[in-house]
Amino acid sequence: MRDFRDAKAMAQTLREALKAKSVSLTHSESLELVAKTLGFPDWNFLAAKIQHSQRTPALSVTPAPGSASMPAGTVVPIVPMRDLVLFPQMIVPIFVGRDKTKRAIERALATDRRILVLTQRRSGDDDPALDALYSVGVSADVIICVTLADETLKLMVSGLERVSVVRGAGEEFLAAEIAPCEESRGRTAEAVALSGAVVDAYRVYANLDYAALPKPLQARLRLPGIDDPGMVADSVAPLLSAGIDQRQQLLETCDVVTRLEKILELLKTDQQAA
């Protein structure tokens, strides 16, 4: 059975089938149509996911791309973000224009493709030092990196796990020794119950009628099952109309029950204000 990794073959089959019915599609149009049919926003997003799934890990002592856990003491290049709080499981495009951060990306691409995404305390800082960044962030895998015409780097990154900065490292670019942030109360009955409440509250908050949506869109918008409360919290948190400070507080909350409670409160507050 074909899956998303067969997208190019599916696009070719679609073009040939439509051509037989006197319907003409360009190669790009067929790729975009297949991407949307599979529940992805566009071909670039799907292409990045395909590349990520096909990458084979190198034989080395460094973590393989796509595996979440990084041992304490690992040194990781830092990518500071002005107006984004990255959460685990998020896949987002980011743009890098600062020379120091470009050097950090070059190091990551030359090793295990891992970066540490930290949010700036003040978005206006053009050259933030380590102490100008929040000390809790997310390790991430660089899925794809493209150099644009103006030399800006466009990355597609996949958030992996919460980590905290232990100490700074490196001189040519920002880097830090990190330690994983261990979650607590993530598998308790209370967490599962709150997880269900958050999913229900979000559906009301977003005014989503899943039954009325096309099936590919249902799959794209569906939240994780309530049996993984931590993932539910991290999936809903980026969708809230919350400020950077509030998002950072959610990221730093390693107690899953407390994190779900905060998210539920934000959902209810937004509903009342609407």
Q: Please report which confidence band the pLDDT of residue 142 belongs to, taking 50, 70 and 90 as the band edges.
A: very high
Question: What is the average pLDDT across 215-226?
Answer: 60
Q: Specify the pLDDT at position 63.
A: 44
Question: What is the average pLDDT across 204-232?
Answer: 69
Question: What is the average pLDDT across 145-163?
Answer: 95
* pLDDT tens digits, 156-197: 999 999 999 999 987 789 999 999 999 999 999 999 999 999
3-state SS of 211-240 is HHCCHHHHHHHCCCCCCCHHHHHHHHHHHC
Which residue, among 112, 76, 81, has the nearest Cα to 94 in the 3D structure?
A: 81
* pLDDT tens digits, 227-266: 899 999 999 999 898 999 999 999 999 999 999 999 999 9
More confident residue, 141 or 72: 141
The pLDDT mean for the chain works out to: 84
* pLDDT tens digits, 46-90: 776 676 555 533 323 344 444 557 787 899 999 999 999 999 989
Q: Specify the pLDDT at position 19.
A: 75
CA-to-CA dists, residue 176 to 32, 82, 168, 192, angstroms: 39, 18, 4, 34
**Which structure tokens are listed for 230?**
């931590």
- The fraction of the chain above a pLDDT of 90, given in percent, is 57
The pTM score is 0.73
More confident residue, 8 or 78: 78
Maximal C-alpha separation, the chain: 63
Helix orientation angle between 27-37 and 43-54, rounded to the nearest 10 degrees:
80
Helix residue spans in 20-86 (DSSP H): 27-37, 43-54
Burial level of 215, CB count in 10 A (0-12/13-18/19+)? exposed
> CB-based contacts of 217: which residues, under 8 Å, 6+ apart?
39
Whole-angstrom distance, CA of residue 215 vs CA of residue 64: 33
Q: Please report which confidence band the pLDDT of residue 226 belongs to, taking 50, 70 and 90 as the band edges.
A: confident
